[in-house]
């Protein structure tokens, strides 16, 4: 089917609720309202308020309750309304959700999914446009994935719900209304990267909101005679290191692009991994393009903050100059 990214998530949630009675959807306004982005629209009508649960405005309570439910055999899917609102639940996610499996020597699993609309591009106010994946990818015990297409939004979420591990599921909100096909079967496992566009001269490594930007950069570079590859990481923890190194083996050059601030961002981890594994095949340093090291700005300035076509192409040009 052809659908929007947001509707692909809705159908994935509907399938999970329909096929597994242990699945619950919970969060602020996910029921009658259908979520602030209407991603859960209609689910409470179909499955009732005991399985699609409107919670108080208390993120720590949402995740803490989900942890208890998971210990009793449920598979909760929590929605955090916006990326910047997840911090009240940070302790529950990083100190409890991520650790209990190891702390109990594998005796307890916590199959909890935390859905988080993430990044900018919609003209939102403060605390509504952050890219905080590095916090969670740094925490051992969590899977962290992000979807850039309806196909990945649908199947990554279904695979995340079926996983026995806790999963932080990032949804780039600026892509909610983008359309694409959703196949009848998944084409990749949960932790695999995808070659979105093959190329020979340089690899753009990216994820989430920046996949579209990198594809536009590759199309622009093609007009100047450069053949760029675009790889969507999809899984940020664990990373598909073999796919990343194979891409650099093919092209010899790499630029990492993400919306989060460059300093301390996952682009540094990608660059370090490539330097360790591909040093003798790299023709140039791995460059990073990211957000600036400042708090996310007011809506009228976000176009200057977010990496755009010109900033990506500038990094491409400087890398190809070696």
The CA-CA-CA angle for residues 48, 8, 190, to 5°, reads 105
Q: Rounded mean pLDDT of the chain?
A: 97
In the predicted model, is pLDDT for residue 322 greater than 90? no
CA 122 to chain centroid, in Å, comes to: 17
Diameter of the chain measured on Cα atoms: 60
For the four alpha carbons of 37, 39, 44 and 49, in that order, the dihedral sign comes to negative
Q: Looking at residue 275, what is its pLDDT? A: 96
Neighbours of 237 (CB within 10 A): 22
Which residues are part of the catalytic machinery? 128
For 111, 255, 270, 277, 288, the CA distances from 243, given in Å and listed in that order, are 27, 15, 12, 12, 18
**Average pLDDT over every residue of 61-78:** 98
CATH class of 2-181: alpha beta
Structural domain boundaries in the chain: 2-181, 194-320
Q: Which fold has domain 194-320?
A: Rossmann fold (3.40.50)
pLDDT in tens, 110-168: 999 999 999 999 999 889 999 999 999 999 999 999 999 999 999 999 999 999 999 99
Which residue's structure tokens are 């979105």? 196
Per-residue DSSP letters for 159-208?
A: HHHH-SS-EEEEEEGGGTT-EEE--SS-SS-TT--EEEE--SSEEEEE-T
Q: Whole-structure pTM over 0.85, yes or no?
A: yes
């Amino acid at each position: 089917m052809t659908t929007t990214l947001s509707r692909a998530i809705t159908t994935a949630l509907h399938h999970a609720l329909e096929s597994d009675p242990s699945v619950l959807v919970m969060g602020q306004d996910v029921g009658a309202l259908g979520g602030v982005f209407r991603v859960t629209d209609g689910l409470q009508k179909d499955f009732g308020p005991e399985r699609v649960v409107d919670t108080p405005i208390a993120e720590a309570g949402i995740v803490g309750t989900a942890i208890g439910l998971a210990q009793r055999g449920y598979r909760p899917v929590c929605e955090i309304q916006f990326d910047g609102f997840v911090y009240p639940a940070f302790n529950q996610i990083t100190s409890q959700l991520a650790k209990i499996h190891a702390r109990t020597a594998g005796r307890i699993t916590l199959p909890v999914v935390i859905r988080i609309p993430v990044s900018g591009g919609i003209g939102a106010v403060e605390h509504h446009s952050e890219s905080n994946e590095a916090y969670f990818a740094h925490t051992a015990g969590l899977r962290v994935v992000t979807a850039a297409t309806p196909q990945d939004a649908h199947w990554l979420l279904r695979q995340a719900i079926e996983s026995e591990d806790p999963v932080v599921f990032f949804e780039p909100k600026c892509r909610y209304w983008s359309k694409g096909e959703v196949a009848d079967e998944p084409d990749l496992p949960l932790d695999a990267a995808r070659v979105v566009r093959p190329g020979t001269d340089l690899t753009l490594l990216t994820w989430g909101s920046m996949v579209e930007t990198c594809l536009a950069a590759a199309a622009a570079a093609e007009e100047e005679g450069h053949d760029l590859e675009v790889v969507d990481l999809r899984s940020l923890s664990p990373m598909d290191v073999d796919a990343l190194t194979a891409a650099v083996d093919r092209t010899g050059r790499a630029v990492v692009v993400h919306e989060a601030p460059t300093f301390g961002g996952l682009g540094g981890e990608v660059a370090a991994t490539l330097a360790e594994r591909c040093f003798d095949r790299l023709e140039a340093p791995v460059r990073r393009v990211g957000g600036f090291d400042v708090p996310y700005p007011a809506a009228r300035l976000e176009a200057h903050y977010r990496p755009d076509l010109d900033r990506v192409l500038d990094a491409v040009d400087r890398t190809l100059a070696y």
